[in-house]
Amino acid sequence: METKVNDLKLGERGVIISIITYIVLSALKLFVGYIAHSEALKADGLNNATDIIASVAVLIGLKVSQKPADKDHPYGHWKAETVASMVASFIMAVVGFQVLYNAVLSVFDGQQESPDLISAWTGLFCAIIMFFVYRYNRNLGRKINSQGLMAAAKDNLSDALVSIGTVIGIIGSQFGLPWLDPITAVLVGIIICKTAWEIFRDTSHHLTDGYDIEKMDVYKETVLSMPGVKGVKDIKARAYGNNSVVDIVILVNSNLGIRDAHDISTAVENELKKVHGIYDVIVHVEPN
C-alpha cells in the first residue's frame, strides 16, 4: 500500500513537468502564431492548452488517489485518476471542435496568406522540447509501472508529432501553397478530437469494470500451474486506477482439510501478486 502511494507521488513529478512545459510552449505558439499569421501554429498552441487542463486533471486525480480508504470508500480512492481523465477528455473534445471550426472557416474564406517562417522554427523548437519531456515521462512511467504516466508520455509524443506536422504545413505554404497552413490546422483539430475520444473510450471501459481478457487468461495459466490446484472454475478482474483486483474460484481435492485448502489459496494469492503485480487477490476454494 505504502509503495503504491509513493509511486503516485513520484508520478506527480512527471505530470508537473508536463504542465510547466505545456504552459510555456502553449503561450509561445499562440503568440508567434498570431504575429506570424499561422493558423496551424495557433491550433497547435490550443492543443497544448487542452493538454494543460488534461494534465491538471490527472494531477488532481493522482493526489485524490493517494487518500486512504474511508467509510464511504472502503476500496480506496484509486479510481479518482480515471474520473479525472474522463473529465479531461470532455474538455479536449470541446477545444478540438473549436479548432476544427475556426480552421475550416479559414480554409474557405479565400484570404489565406503564407505565415512567416519564424512560425516553422517555433514549431520545430517546441517539438524537440516535447520529445525530451516524452522520454522523461516514459522512463519514469516504466520505473514506477504507472499506466497513467505512460499515457501522459504517449500524449507528449503525440504533441511532438503534431508540432512536426505543423512545421511541414508551414514550410509547404512557403512554396505557393498558403492553404496548406489552415489545412494542417484542420488535421490538428482532428487529432485533438481523436485523442479525446480514445481517452474517453479507455476511461469509460475502466469505470464500467472492463478488463483485458488476455491478461485474465495469463493469470489463469499461472494458477493452473500451481501444486494442489485441480482447476479454475471462475476468474474475474477489475481495475482500481493502476491497480488490479482479481477474484478467482479454484478447485481442489475434496479430501483436503480446511487448513490444507487454505494454504493452497494463500499460495495462489501470493503467486499472483508476486508474478503479475496484482494489488489484491480474493481466492474462493471449492471441492472437486
Clarify whether residues 190 and 279 are in a common domain.
Answer: no
The residue out of 163, 180, 207 marking a domain boundary is 207
Residue 64: pLDDT band by 50, 70, 90 thresholds? confident
Clarify whether residues 246 and 175 are in a common domain.
Answer: no
Clarify whether residues 15 and 129 are in a common domain.
Answer: yes
Clarify whether residues 41 and 56 are in a common domain.
Answer: yes
More confident position, 260 or 70: 260
For residue range 15-43, what is the model confidence (pLDDT) as tens digits? Answer: 899 899 999 999 999 999 889 888 778 88
- Cα(163)–Cα(81) distance, rounded to whole angstroms? 27
User: Region 136-140: what's the mean pLDDT?
Assistant: 88
Clarify whether residues 134 and 235 are in a common domain.
Answer: no
Clarify whether residues 192 and 252 are in a common domain.
Answer: no
- Cα(36)–Cα(29) distance, rounded to whole angstroms? 10
Clarify whether residues 88 and 38 are in a common domain.
Answer: yes
Q: Is the pLDDT of residue 10 over 80?
A: no
The residue out of 173, 188, 207 marking a domain boundary is 207
Q: According to the model, what pLDDT value does residue 1 have?
A: 52
Range of the domain at 112: 2-207
CATH at 239: 3.30.70.1350
* Sheet of strand 231-240: strand arrangement: 231-240, 243-252, 280-287
Query: How much is the mean pLDDT over the chain?
Result: 84
- Record the cell numbers describing residue 195, joined without a space: 485523442
For residue range 165-207, what is the model confidence (pLDDT) as tens digits? Answer: 788 878 877 777 777 777 877 887 788 788 788 888 888 888 8
pTM for this entry: 0.73
> Mapping DSSP to helix (H, G, I), strand (E, B) and coil, where does residue 123 land?
helix
Q: According to the model, what pLDDT value does residue 25 have?
A: 93
- Cα(65)–Cα(61) distance, rounded to whole angstroms? 6
Clarify whether residues 83 and 224 are in a common domain.
Answer: no
The residue out of 207, 225, 244 marking a domain boundary is 207
Clarify whether residues 137 and 270 are in a common domain.
Answer: no
Q: What is the residue type of 117? A: L
Clarify whether residues 160 and 272 are in a common domain.
Answer: no
- Distances in Å between the Cα of 247 and the Cα atoms of 98, 125, 152, 252 are 44, 49, 30, 16
Clarify whether residues 150 and 238 are in a common domain.
Answer: no
Number of domain units in the chain = 2
Q: Is the pLDDT of residue 147 over 70?
A: no
In sequence order, what are the residues at sequence separation of 6 or more whose Cβ sits closer than 8 angstroms to the Cβ of residue 217?
none
Q: Is the pLDDT of residue 138 over 90?
A: no
